[in-house]
Amino acid sequence: MSTSRHLSRVIALQALFASEFGKQNPTEAFDYVCKEFKDKTDDFSFAKMIFDGVIAGQEGIHEKIRHYAPEWPIEKIAKIDRVILEIAIFEMTAKGDVPAVVALDEAVELSKSYGNQNTPKFINGVLNALLNDTGSQRKTITA
């Protein structure tokens, strides 16, 4: 078995969504989702790092969403769209080895699979504003 960072993002996305939507304990939600993916990967470290980083930094991440999507109050953004943004913003603003443009591209790909037809445009717009505002600095994160 192997892991890919895309699969790790899917795992983190599903665990974050399950934690919030089901009002589950975050650790229990993460463990549950990992059990569902045990036949696809044996390494959950990158997914766990994203999951923990989003949980720990959620307040600051939400401030960035408010700043870069001012016409969309957090509570009005579809939960799945918000979780995709949370993951990408965490990756784009944390230190590590994932270039910000890669995090943005991955978020758009996730939005195509999990969001509605308008989600990719919304995600791309918010994250491009963040990327442009940071001067396209190479902000990265490690596993």
Q: With respect to residue 10, please indicate whether it lies within any of the assigned structural domains.
A: yes
Q: What is the pLDDT of residue 1?
A: 44
| Residue 83: CATH number of its domain | 1.10.940.10
pLDDT at 40 over 50: yes
Q: With respect to residue 127, please indicate whether it lies within any of the assigned structural domains.
A: yes
CA distances from 32 to 7, 16, 94 (A): 15, 11, 26
Name the domain count of the chain: 1
pLDDT at 58 over 50: yes
**How confident is the model over 76-110, as pLDDT tens digits?**
999 999 999 999 999 999 877 888 999 999 999 99
Q: With respect to residue 139, please indicate whether it lies within any of the assigned structural domains.
A: no
Q: Give the structural domain span for 60.
A: 5-133
Q: With respect to residue 138, please indicate whether it lies within any of the assigned structural domains.
A: no
Q: With respect to residue 142, please indicate whether it lies within any of the assigned structural domains.
A: no
CA distances from 106 to 25, 27, 39 (A): 26, 24, 23
Q: Which residues contact 90 (CB under 8 A, 6 or more apart)?
A: 50, 53, 54, 57, 61, 141
Euclidean distance between CA atoms 105 and 88, whole angstroms: 9
The pTM (predicted TM-score) of the whole model is 0.90
Q: With respect to residue 78, please indicate whether it lies within any of the assigned structural domains.
A: yes
